[in-house]
Amino acid sequence: MKKTVLFVLVAVMVALISSVASAQYKDTLTWAQGSDVTSMDPHQGKETPAVQVTSQIFDTLVAVDPATNELFPQIAESWDIVDDLTYVFHIRKGIKFHDGTELTAEDVKFSLDRAINSAAVSYIVDFIDTVTVNDDYTVTVVTKNPYGPTLRNLAIPFAAIVPKHVVEADENNFILNPVGSGPYTFVEWKQGDHVTLKAFDDYYAGKALTENLVMKVVPETSQRSIALETGEIDLAYDLAVNDLPKVRDNASLTAYEIPSLSCWYISMNMNKAPFDNALVREALSYAIDRQLLVDALNMGSGQPADAIIAPGVFGYYGTGVREYNPEKAKELLAEAGYPNGFTAKLWVNDNQSRIEMCQVIQAMLSEIGVEVSVDVMEFGAFIAATTNGEHDMAYFGWTTSSGDADYTYYSLEHSSQQGAAGNRTFIADPDVDALIEAGRSSNDPEERLEIYKNLAIKLDEINNNLPIFYSSLNVGANAKVEGFVMDSNGYHPLNNVQVHE
């Protein structure tokens, strides 16, 4: 009898301890970001605000550890590189989609073929020639040519694996109600306001540590800071740099910051006058004081840019930051036939720090007689209109998600990628195309570096995109947040993050 009572007491104590332990962490983690998701379809929504959400829902064949930058197996438990063109992927057995069905090689083939045919993301997978299903758990990928960043590209979130049967049954419903195999399942998307996700019980790598995720759309950086300070949110993405000292000085908050793989730049639409004139484009480049922008608006965070890819990207070559020389800019405008300047529109999405950057650039261009109106647009409308080539100039940020120069040069500068894929200057230069194609079809790192050096020099002469600065990434966090690791692309994984009560 005494043993039974003791056993019951021990069981009760264990239950109480377990209950207390589980109650130590919140069941919901809330983060705020500046823009809403553009699409829940991973083969369409490639913009960072979209991927910050969809990367919690979908997985890829392989992935990159944000802490080490090393590749690791995800949906594919292993792979064999048979030759320069052939990759054999062995799919994990027992991976479940959120509807309970098993993920197989057919889903992998369907997904890669679908991504190849997507105007938005084809540039990251169109190096693939064929995808063949060998059996339920083996897929062979053959590339068109040797392609150095093959595995890195397949780790990009918009090469996600989606369920073939769900997409084929009702693609429109899938886009609104995404089904993946990632750590979180989709619950709700109230556009312009929030997204709610729930931990997937059967996730192959173990259930996520926090039961619910809520993403809130908070366009103004100051409001994200306030929401963090008041405890309304646990994580605030992309804080204004002048808010970081306040976060660092607040004992209840933590500031995370790392160099990014992002470049902020202005695209000039070469299909429109006067931006079809190389002298005009060069003049505008001389009119921008990049160091002042970094010092005054970014409080020294980041660095002036001289190329469309950041220094941390493989293939970066520095041509030297274009000097600030408004007198030279005026001379070039006069030579181009615009001695009195011209008027134009500079588009930017509704993000306060980006708006402020454009307003200062507006003032700089005014000094050389170029009168620019800064037009602010909702992010989705901004992307759609610039995809259609309706802009004069537009302010963008681009992250080299693979860490390899091809990712950016091909999508932003190759003539085949005009519009949705990223080329919003609508450049179509045969020499640029040839260099890009040579760089992506070589497996020799030294040869590729030489090609990208020549390409950087060529683009510095063309000036279709005006690189402004390379940014750092920052996230403000409640000090009670545990397990958070920043991703250099901004696609911060949240399945191992917890928040103390």
Question: Distance (Å, rounded) from C-alpha 49 to C-alpha 62?
Answer: 22
Q: What is the pLDDT of residue 242?
A: 85
What pTM value is reported for the model? Answer: 0.77
Residue ranges of the domains in the chain?
Answer: 28-33+182-252+479-499, 58-167, 259-471
pLDDT at 60 over 80: yes
Phi, psi of 12 (to 5 degrees): -65, -45
pLDDT at 284 over 70: yes
Pairing relationship of beta strands 481-482 and 465-478 according to DSSP bridges = unpaired
The whole-number average pLDDT for the span 156-170 is 97
Q: What is the pLDDT of residues 213-232, one digit of tens each?
A: 999 999 998 999 999 999 99
pLDDT at 5 over 60: no
Q: What is the pLDDT of residue 16?
A: 38
Q: What percent of the chain has pLDDT over 70?
A: 95
Query: What letter does residue 166 receive in the DSSP assignment?
Result: H
Q: What is the pLDDT of residue 488?
A: 86
Phi, psi of 264 (to 5 degrees): -105, 135
pLDDT at 387 over 70: yes
Phi, psi of 115 (to 5 degrees): -65, -40
For 58-167, give the CATH class: alpha beta
- DSSP code string of 87-116: EEEEEPTT-B-TTSPBP-HHHHHHHHHHHH
pLDDT-derived band of residue 7, with 50, 70 and 90 as boundaries?
Answer: very low
The whole-number average pLDDT for the span 386-415 is 94
Q: What is the pLDDT of residue 442?
A: 86
Pick the CATH number of 28-33+182-252+479-499 from 3.40.190.10, 3.40.50.720, 3.30.1330.60, 3.40.50.2300: 3.40.190.10
Q: What is the pLDDT of residues 320-376, one digit of tens each?
A: 999 999 999 999 999 999 999 999 999 999 988 899 999 999 999 999 999 999 999
Query: What letter does residue 476 receive in the DSSP assignment?
Result: E
Question: Distance (Å, rounded) from C-alpha 267 to C-alpha 498?
Answer: 40
User: For 333, what's the count of Cα atoms within 13 Å in the CB-facing half-sphere?
Assistant: 23
The whole-number average pLDDT for the span 417-437 is 96
pLDDT at 78 over 70: yes
The whole-number average pLDDT for the span 465-494 is 95
Name the least confident of 13-17, 144-148, 287-291, 469-473. Answer: 13-17
Q: What percent of the chain has pLDDT over 90?
A: 84
pLDDT-derived band of residue 70, with 50, 70 and 90 as boundaries?
Answer: confident
pLDDT at 10 over 80: no
- One-letter amino acid at 16 equals L
Q: What is the pLDDT of residues 110-159, one digit of tens each?
A: 999 999 999 899 988 999 999 999 999 999 999 999 998 999 999 999 99
Instruction: Answer whether 58-167 and 259-471 agree in fold.
Output: no
Q: What is the pLDDT of residue 23?
A: 54
Q: Mean pLDDT in the chain?
A: 93
For 259-471, give the CATH class: alpha beta
The whole-number average pLDDT for the span 463-484 is 96
Q: What is the pLDDT of residue 240?
A: 86
